[in-house]
A and B are shown apart, each in its own frame.
Chain A
Amino acid sequence: MKSIIFYLLCIPYLILPLTASAETAEEAIKRAQAAFLYAGYDMKARVVMKLIAKDGKERMREMTMLRKDFEEGGDQKYFIYFYQPADVRNMSFMVWKYPKKDDDRWIFIPALNMVRKIAASDRRSSFVGSDFTYEDISGRDIEDDNHSFGKEEKVGERDCLVIKSVPKDEKGTDYSYKLSWIDKERSLPLKEEYYSKKGDIEKVFSADEVKELSGIFTITKRTMKNIANGHRTEVSFEKTEYNVKIEDGLFTERALKNPPKRWIE
C-alpha cells in the first residue's frame, strides 16, 4: 500500500519535465514575459533605484510607477512620477509601449511647465541614467529574437531553464546574445546575462528578492550590473499592488502636468 502511494506521488514529478520540454523556447520566454512584465491587469509600485558608480558613489531615483496592460503580451502604458532627486520632483514621464513599433514617450518639465514628446528611436538607451535600458524595463518583442533551450540549471534553490536569445537583426542591439535563467515553476527570470559583440559578458541581471504579493510572484529587488564599466543599478519595488483599477485617463498629457493626487501619494 505504502509503495503505491509513493509511486502515485511521484507521477506529477515524472510528467512535469515532459510538459516543460514540450514547450518551445519561444513559449517559455513568452511565459516569462507574462509573469514578469504583465503580472495583473495593472500595477502600482513605489520604485527606488540606486545607481551605483564604480567608485561606490550613488545616485537615487525615487518614483511611483503605474502600469496598465491593454492587451496581454501586447500594448501597455506606463506613468512614472518622480520624487527624487529633489530638483526633478513633480517631473512625470509617460510611455505608451507597442511591441511592434517604437514607444511613444512624453515628459513633463515642471521648471518650464512644459510637456515634450521624446522621440524614442533607441530602445537600448538607458532608462533614467540607470544600467537598465527601456527594453529591460518594458520588454523586448519576442519575435525579434531566435530563442533556443540550453541546459537546465539551478539559480539559488530554484530550478531554471536556460534560454539563449539571439537578435535576428544585430544592428538594433548593443549585444550579440542573451542567456536567461527562467524559474521553471514561477516563470520569473532569475538571472540574465548579456554578451557583447566581442563575446564578453557585459551585463548581468539578477532577481535578488522574490515575494508573493496578492498571489502573484513578484521580483521585489533586482540588480543590473554592468561588467564592462563597473556600474550597477539596484532597484527595489516597494508597496507593489496589483489590479488597482487605473483609469485610462491617467495616461494623457493633461494628467502628466497635473497627476491625480491619489496615484502619486
Chain B
Amino acid sequence: MSGQYIAFFILSLLTISGAIFMISFNRVIHMVVALAFTFLSIAGLFILLEAEFVGLTQIMVYSGGVSVLMLFGIMLTQHSKVERSEQKPALRIFTFAGILAFFVAVFYGIQKTPWSQEAVDYSTQNNVKEIGVQLYNNYVIPFELVSVLLLVALIGGIIMAKKEADDE
C-alpha cells in the first residue's frame, strides 16, 4: 500500500462525505463549511495528480474565496434551522430519474473513454512553469479574451450595484 493510495482514499472519502453532508445538513452555515471541506479535498486530489498549480488555485479561489464569500453573506441571514418542506412523490421520482440518467451517462462515458495504458509521469517537470509558458506563448489571445470578459463582468457588477444604490 503506497502513500499515494492512502492519501487518495482519505481525500476521496472527504470529498464525497463533504458533498453528502452539504446536502443533508439543516443549517446553511453548516452546509457551507461542509462544502469548503469538499473544495479542499478536491484540491488535494489535484495535488495528488501532480497538478499542484491547479490544486493551489482551487484552494485559493474556492476554499479561500468562494466559501468565505458565501459564509460572509449567510452570516447576515437568519440563525435558526431551515424547515424542510416535504416534496411531492411525483417530484421525487422525477428527480431520482434525472440523477440516475446523469449517473448512467457519466459512468458510461468513463467506461468508454480509451485511457492510455501507461501511466503519465509529470513529476520531473515543473508544471507551474509549464502552464505559464503554454499560457503566454500558445494561448495568449484566449487568455487575454478571458481577462477582458472578467473585467466586463466586474464593471457590470459595479454599475448594477450603483444603479440600485441610486434608486433607493
Q: Do these two chains really belong together in a complex?
A: no
